[in-house]
Structure 1
Amino acid sequence: MSRRLFTPRWLGALALALLYAVLAYQLGHWQYARHEFKVERNALLDAHYRADPIPVTDVLSDRPVERSRKDWTKVTATGTYAGEQLLVRNRPNNSVFGYEVLAPLTLPDGRTVVVDRGWVENSDRGAAVAPDVAAAPAGEVTVVGWVRPGETTQRKTLPRGQVASIAVPDVERAWDTEVLDGYVVLDTERTAGGTSAPRPDRLEDPDRSLGPHQAYAFQWWMTLPLGLLLIWLGIRRELRDEDTDRVAKPKKVRIWDEEDY
């Protein structure tokens, strides 16, 4: 069998089998890395999502949010909404597409925090018409929410008052003001009198599913020896067919063939 393996035909098959094994290993490793990423994300959510809030300026600054340590940190901020609200286009919420609503919260020190106040459904008058959105409360307001890192700019030209993503350059251009890097997903919002104002729908809770990545990784790794197994079976069958001393199995005679005589 080893001599038969070192023939051009089976050496080519061996090369393909080894190539497949390497590919299967890499794909399995990639799937398992996706699984580990989601495990780490859930651990971060467990540590941050229901924790006591800390001042927003302890997390947000002029530098990007450190995703591996600060994402979903619960924060609080007191300030005043100053400026028009922005609509972030094509955002899903509970499997329905609409707009997320951004508002600029000016802090006492003059810096501005981007607050994602929630979600509104597309207008029933068509995509070209912006939906009606409840105004942000006037006066001093205290918000509690979760920090998220800024998104990548989509570089799209949209109608005034709309952006394609929550990207710092796009938001700063729309508001004509500098903002802290990252944004806050609103949990609660209260005025100085302790009342809550009408607001867009809450965003759905963050996804905590692990998905099928771990199972896919194990499936890829289990198929690593598949090519070698097929080669072994192929050579074994080839040698058996060439064996002239092999006793042939008697041919079975069907009952209806016997009745024909």
Structure 2
Amino acid sequence: MRVKKLIALSVFSVLLVLLLTLSVWQLQRGFTKATIQTQAKQRSAYQSLSEIPNDFSPLLYQTAQLKGHWLNEHSFLLANRSHQNQIGYEVLVPFRLISGQTVVINRGWMAQQDHKPLANLPTSLEPHGILYAPKKGFHLGETLTPQNTWPKTVLYLDMPALSAELQTPLSPLMLVLDQNHPNSLIRIWQPIVMTPERHYAYALQWFGLALALFVLGFKARQHFLDA
């Protein structure tokens, strides 16, 4: 009977800690998303950039115009991106700054069968849009599909993998082209996918489950004491 009590107490403790951890994690995610929203709303006027500073945090979610030239011959197609129930690509084009740094430009979405916009991109027009730092999410398998010709198809937004394929360092910042830019495709990028309020609601749900478990455990303690 003592062993059963220990097992029950262990299971109770693990579940309670897990539920509370999930609640705190969702709260933290909500705070992070709220910060991003604030940064995105406090955009300044276009900054003209010929280089990206080492401390790029003040540039996050800010508008900028880049000085340099396009590297159109080495474009990437980010696969499995949907728009209005249609599968397509987001077109990623490297851009060489005057400083020699390379920044990836997200031109936007295009349908799978339409590659013409890649060939029509002029090299003289400077890009302007929003800067952000993409994060490498969870993925399985290789980032790039096996192919020897450009543009190359990528399955995940993995900046180190793109850097290795280009054989050049890439800035951690990516610029999402403004929708009103002449070379912009359909812009589907959003600063956040899930709002802070959704995260707060999930945090409340996990906390409610933790509270319910605690109440049940508190009520059940007498049974274990009497057993």
Q: What's the TM-score, normalizing by structure 1? A: 0.64
For structure 1, list consecutive stretches of 5 or more residues without a partner in the other structure.
Answer: 1-6, 124-130, 191-195, 240-261
- Give the counterpart letter for 2:61 in structure 1: W
Task: Give the C-alpha shift of residue 64 in structure 1.
Answer: 8.7
Query: Is this contact kept in 2: 1:25–1:224, CA < 8 A?
Result: no
> Once the two structures are superposed, what CA deviation does each residue of 1:72-107 show, in whole Å capped at 9, x if it has no partner?
221111333243232122233456431111223333
Task: Specify which of 220, 226, 241 is matched with residue 215 of structure 2.
Answer: 226
- Is 1:40 the counterpart of 2:39? The answer is no
For structure 2, list consecutive stretches of 5 or more residues without a partner in the other structure.
Answer: none
Q: 1:104 to 1:22 in 2, by over 3 A?
A: closer
Partner of 1:180: 171
Partner of 2:12: 17
Task: Give the C-alpha shift of residue 141 in structure 1.
Answer: 1.3
Partner of 1:212: 198
- Is 1:157 the counterpart of 2:145? The answer is yes
Q: 1:13 to 1:109 in 2, by over 3 A?
A: closer
Q: Sequence identity, in percent?
A: 22
Aligned length: 213
Query: Is this contact kept in 2: 1:89–1:162, CA < 8 A?
Result: no
In the alignment, the residues of structure 2 paired with residue 11 and residue 77 of structure 1 have an alpha-carbon distance, to the nearest angstrom, of 63
Larger radius of gyration: 1
Q: 1:182 to 1:93 in 2, by over 3 A?
A: farther
In the alignment, the residues of structure 1 paired with residue 82 and residue 129 of structure 2 have an alpha-carbon distance, to the nearest angstrom, of 19
- Is 1:74 the counterpart of 2:63? The answer is yes
- Is 1:55 the counterpart of 2:48? The answer is yes
Map 1:89-168 → 2, pairs under 5 A = 89-93=79-83, 96-123=86-113, 131-134=114-117, 135-152=119-136, 154-159=142-147, 160=149, 161-164=151-154, 165-168=156-159
Task: Give the C-alpha shift of residue 185 in structure 1.
Answer: 0.6
Task: Give the C-alpha shift of residue 39 in structure 1.
Answer: 1.9
> Once the two structures are superposed, what CA deviation does each residue of 1:190-244 show, in whole Å capped at 9, x if it has no partner?
6xxxxx35x42223433362253323323333324233244057579x89xxxxx
- Give the counterpart letter for 2:191 in structure 1: P
SS of the residue aligned with 1:75?
Answer: strand
Partner of 2:25: 30
SS of the residue aligned with 1:141?
Answer: coil
Bigger share in helix:
2
- Give the counterpart letter for 2:70 in structure 1: Y
In the alignment, the residues of structure 1 paired with residue 16 and residue 161 of structure 2 have an alpha-carbon distance, to the nearest angstrom, of 45
Task: Give the C-alpha shift of residue 169 in structure 1.
Answer: 4.1
Task: Give the C-alpha shift of residue 177 in structure 1.
Answer: 4.8
SS of the residue aligned with 1:138?
Answer: coil
Q: What's the TM-score, normalizing by structure 2? A: 0.72
Q: What value does the CA root-mean-square deviation take over the aligned residues?
A: 3.5
Query: Is this contact kept in 1: 2:49–2:67, CA < 8 A?
Result: no
